[in-house]
C-alpha cells in the first residue's frame, strides 16, 4: 500500500521522538524537568513527551503535512520553564499560565538553536489564554495536544492513546 507523502508509521514516530528526547537529555537541561510536577502525578518531563506523541498521532491520523522533527522538538520544549509552578512562595508564579511560554522560550533559546516553527510552538501553545494564535500547523497541533494531555492528566487518565499506540519512553 502506498503511504501518503510525509505520513510516518508508528515505528518511525517512536524512533523520532526517542531520538529527540535522547538528544535533549544530553544537550539541554531537559532531564531537570523530571523534578517538576505538571498535573496530578505527572512530571513536566512525562507531560512533554506525551504532548510530542499526541501531536504526532494527530498529524498522522488526520494526514496533516508537518515538519515532524520541528514539531517534536517544539513539543518537548513547550513547557521548558524549569520551576515548580505549584510552589507559590513569593507569588512569582501567580501568573504562570500567562507567563510560562515566554520563560520556556528564553530557557530553550539559551540552550539550543530554535527555528521559527519551534519558537512559534513554544510561544503560542497557551492560546487562547494568551491572546496571539499560533501561526504554523505544527504549533496548532501542539496547542491542541497540550490541552488533550492536560485534561487526561488532570483526570488521572495518564496513559494517552498516543503513548499506548506508539510505546513509551517514560523511563529514559
Ligand atoms: Fe504550558
Ligand atoms: Fe504543556
- The pLDDT-based confidence of 50 (bands split at 50, 70, 90) is very high
Q: Does a structural domain hold residue 1?
A: no
Percent of the chain with pLDDT over 90: 72
Ligand approaching nearest to the C-alpha of 103: 1
Ligand approaching nearest to the C-alpha of 149: 2
Percent of the chain with pLDDT over 70: 85
- In the predicted structure, residue 78 carries a pLDDT above the cut 80: yes
Cβ partners under 8 Å of residue 1, min gap 6 = none
Give the closest residue to 100 by CA, choosing from 79, 86, 69, 72: 79
Q: What is the mean pLDDT of residues 72-92?
A: 85
* Ligand 2 centre distance from Cα of residue 119 (Å): 15
* Ligand 2 centre distance from Cα of residue 79 (Å): 5
CATH of the domain at 106: 1.10.3210
Q: Which three cell numbers stand for residue 152?
A: 487526561
Q: Does a structural domain hold residue 3?
A: no
From the CB of residue 9, how many other CB atoms can be counted at a distance below 10 Å? 11
Q: Does a structural domain hold residue 150?
A: yes
Which domain, by its residues, includes 71? 10-83+97-163
* Ligand 1 centre distance from Cα of residue 5 (Å): 31
Q: Rounded to an integer, what distance in angstroms lies between the CA atom of residue 34 and that of residue 1? A: 41
Estimate to the nearest angstrom the gap between the alpha carbon of 34 and the chain centroid: 14
Q: Does a structural domain hold residue 172?
A: no
- Supply the pLDDT for residue 163: 52
More confident residue, 85 or 32: 32
- The pLDDT-based confidence of 166 (bands split at 50, 70, 90) is very low
pTM: 0.88
Ligand approaching nearest to the C-alpha of 52: 2
Q: Rounded to an integer, what distance in angstroms lies between the CA atom of residue 138 and that of residue 140? A: 5
- Supply the pLDDT for residue 153: 87
What residue spans of the chain are helical by DSSP H?
10-27, 44-61, 68-77, 96-111, 116-124, 137-154, 161-166
- The predicted-structure confidence for 109-157, as pLDDT tens digits, reads as follows 999 999 999 999 999 999 999 999 999 999 999 999 999 999 988 887 7
* Ligand 2 centre distance from Cα of residue 107 (Å): 15
Q: Does a structural domain hold residue 121?
A: yes
Total domains in the chain come to: 1
- The pLDDT-based confidence of 19 (bands split at 50, 70, 90) is very high
Amino acid at each position: 500500500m502506498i503511504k501518503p507523502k510525509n505520513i510516518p508509521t508508528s515505528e518511525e514516530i517512536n524512533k523520532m521522538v526517542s531520538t529527540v528526547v535522547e538528544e535533549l537529555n544530553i544537550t539541554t537541561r531537559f532531564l531537570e524537568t523530571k523534578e517538576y510536577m505538571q498535573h496530578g502525578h505527572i512530571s513536566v518531563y512525562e507531560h512533554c513527551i506525551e504532548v510530542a506523541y499526541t501531536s504526532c498521532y494527530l498529524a498522522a491520523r488526520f494526514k496533516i503535512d508537518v515538519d515532524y522533527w520541528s514539531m517534536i522538538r517544539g513539543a518537548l520544549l513547550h513547557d521548558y520553564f524549569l520551576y515548580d509552578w505549584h510552589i507559590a512562595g513569593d507569588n512569582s508564579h501567580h501568573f504562570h499560565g500567562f507567563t510560562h511560554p515566554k520563560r520556556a522560550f528564553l530557557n530553550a533559546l539559551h540552550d539550543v538553536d530554535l527555528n521559527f516553527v519551534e519558537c512559534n510552538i513554544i510561544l503560542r501553545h497557551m492560546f487562547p489564554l494568551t491572546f496571539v494564535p499560533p501561526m504554523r500547523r505544527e504549533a496548532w497541533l501542539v496547542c491542541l495536544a497540550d490541552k488533550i494531555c492536560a485534561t487526561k492528566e488532570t483526570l488521572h487518565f495518564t496513559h494517552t492513546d498516543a503513548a499506548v499506540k506508539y510505546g513509551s519512553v517514560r523511563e529514559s
